[in-house]
Chains A and B, each alone.
Chain A
Amino acid sequence: MSGFFKSSIGRKYAMALSAFFLMFFLLQHFAINILSVFSPDAFNEASHFMGTFWAVQYLLQPVLIFGVVFHFIMGFILEAKNRSARVVKYASNNGAANSSWMSRNMIYSGLAILGFIVLHFIDFWLPEINTKYIQGDMSGLLADGDGFRYYEELTHKFVNPIRVVAYIVAFVFLSLHLMHGFSSAFQSSGVSSMRKEKLQLFGKAYAIIIPLGFIFIALYHHFNH
């Protein structure tokens, strides 16, 4: 079994498994964020549950952090190995003739997403950890105690147009990454062929709808607060 994950194909399985996990997480994240557009109360309740329920905080959160870190590190390791597999480059190479831009540039869209995650951690995750685990305030309430703080924090972040633009750019790259990554994860794990039309279509829909939804949320709060 250890030999399996040392093999090129085993590593691709590991990459695909972490991708499946991250794509499921993204869906869940979107499902909660979109509540902020329809019902601030529902968004607050869901955020408070996710932010305080022990299984989410102490089981799922570490798994998520591991999944994100693993996906990036394995991505860099595979990229380095792939680059070293061709020492002398072609003088003329027509990559566009046989493959999509997205498939050839996963490392660059991935790096853009990594930049976004750093920004996102500074924006939301670090202040959250500070409030809950350093200051010890697990109440989830505003400083004046008048209701939950989550919706207020979210809308406050999207006042700054520069942050909104950065989010939009990052989600465009996420979309490009998912355009190839969704079907690629299935192909790598041997589940199905990426040429199967329905899977391709579903993957494209996911890659467009989810990032577009996140962009919509950012713009909605920017123009409504």
Chain B
Amino acid sequence: MNLTLKIWRQKDAQSKGKMVDYKVTEISEHMSFLEMMDVLNEQLINSGEEPVAFDHDCREGICGMCSMYINGEAHGPDRGVTTCQLHMRMFKDGDTITIEPFRAKAFPVLKDLVVDRGAFDRIQHAGGYISVNTSGNTQDANSLPISKHAADEAMDAATCIGCGACVASCKNSSAMLFVGAKVSQYALLPQGQIEATDRVKNMVAQMDLEGFGNCTNTGACEIECPKGISLDNIARMNRELLKANF
């Protein structure tokens, strides 16, 4: 198929960017979106132009690196997939596809489609862990009784890959689905209880410090999340913060 791409080009973090039009031809519907971008970049390199910078790593929907906003949706029009899992069969011959970086004040653009999602790392560092000495005397995981329901919910929360699609999709650039998932995965398990108070307080404080917006429960994050992280995690985080303060 032949496509017109409207892509955000920005030289570096300080430069002002703009949308630039490109044509790509003979794109197979079996290609992934990133493979289509590879074709474009080869075309640009061959013609002596600067290739489009974009984040990618595993290309299996696991690492959370790819991050494009395609035709007005994070990771494009498909559901439950990252950009690397998005296939060109979702588009038609002759389509114009708009490709932008994830937009949020807390996710500054570094170059073209690459944004700095270090804010997520700093939120994690603020409390998204448990302090356990794992050197030699690791306790058997099965020695702690955990209900199947809690284990399943914690696992569901832990599937968050921190891609930032929630922030990108939210009209308020809120990071509450991400933080809610990271708080929940520990709040649901006995190992997370000891540091629960400090964890939620510190992670929420860091989230606010980074300049993310507030959640207004539109639910856009849950729909666009490639891992289907539930809004229940935001409600749980809110309860955890209430418990931690009163």
- Distance in angstroms from B5 CB to nearest chain A CB is 12
A190 touches B217 (CB 8 A): no
List residues of chain B with CB within 8 A of the CB of A13.
238, 242
Closest to A192 in B: B235
A98 touches B224 (CB 8 A): yes
What separation, in Å, do the CA atoms of A152 and B202 have in the docked complex?
Answer: 58
Q: Which of B32-40, B42-50, B226-234 contacts A (4 or more CB under 8 A)?
A: B226-234
**Interface status of A142 (Cβ within 8 A of chain B):** no
Closest to B172 in A: A82
List residues of chain B with CB within 8 A of the CB of A81.
213-214
A98 touches B174 (CB 8 A): no
A85 touches B106 (CB 8 A): yes
A85 touches B223 (CB 8 A): no
Q: Which of B55-63, B65-73, B83-91, B131-139 contacts A (4 or more CB under 8 A)?
A: B65-73
**Interface status of B237 (Cβ within 8 A of chain A):** yes
- Distance in angstroms from B95 CB to nearest chain A CB is 13
Q: Which of A2-10, A22-30, A153-161 contacts B (4 or more CB under 8 A)?
A: A2-10
Q: Which of A99-107, A131-139, A207-215 contacts B (4 or more CB under 8 A)?
A: A99-107
List residues of chain B with CB within 8 A of the CB of A94.
71-73
What separation, in Å, do the CA atoms of A8 and B174 have in the docked complex?
Answer: 10
- Distance in angstroms from B114 CB to nearest chain A CB is 15
What separation, in Å, do the CA atoms of A97 and B223 have in the docked complex?
Answer: 9
What separation, in Å, do the CA atoms of A94 and B8 have in the docked complex?
Answer: 17
Question: Number of A residues contacting the other chain (C-beta, 8 Å)?
Answer: 45
Segment 207-246 of B: residues with Cβ below 8 Å from A: 207-208, 211-220, 223-224, 230-232, 234-239, 241-242, 245-246
Set A12, A86, A193: member contacting B230, Cβ < 8 A: A193
Set A10, A83, A187, A192: member contacting B241, Cβ < 8 A: A10
**Interface status of A183 (Cβ within 8 A of chain B):** yes
What separation, in Å, do the CA atoms of A93 and B72 have in the docked complex?
Answer: 4
Closest to B224 in A: A98
B171 touches A9 (CB 8 A): no
- Distance in angstroms from B244 CB to nearest chain A CB is 8
A99 touches B223 (CB 8 A): yes
What separation, in Å, do the CA atoms of A104 and B72 have in the docked complex?
Answer: 15
A78 touches B217 (CB 8 A): no
B19 touches A91 (CB 8 A): yes
List residues of chain B with CB within 8 A of the CB of A189.
238
List residues of chain A with CB within 8 A of the CB of B223.
97-99
List residues of chain A with CB within 8 A of the CB of B224.
98
What separation, in Å, do the CA atoms of A207 and B164 have in the docked complex?
Answer: 33
Residues of B within 8 A of A (CB): 6, 8, 19, 69, 71-73, 77, 98, 100, 103-106, 109, 169, 171-174, 176, 204-205, 207-208, 211-220, 223-224, 230-232, 234-239, 241-242, 245-246
In the complex, 22 of the A-B residue pairs with CB atoms within 8 angstroms, ordered by the A residue number, are A4-B242, A8-B208, A9-B204, A10-B241, A12-B214, A82-B172, A82-B214, A82-B216, A84-B213, A85-B105, A85-B106, A86-B173, A92-B100, A95-B171, A95-B220, A97-B77, A97-B223, A100-B218, A180-B217, A187-B231, A187-B234, A187-B235
With A9-B238, A85-B105, A97-B72 already in contact, 19 other A-B pairs whose C-beta atoms are closer than 8 Å: A8-B174, A8-B176, A9-B237, A10-B245, A12-B238, A78-B216, A82-B213, A85-B211, A86-B104, A86-B105, A86-B213, A91-B98, A92-B72, A95-B220, A97-B73, A187-B231, A187-B234, A191-B235, A194-B219
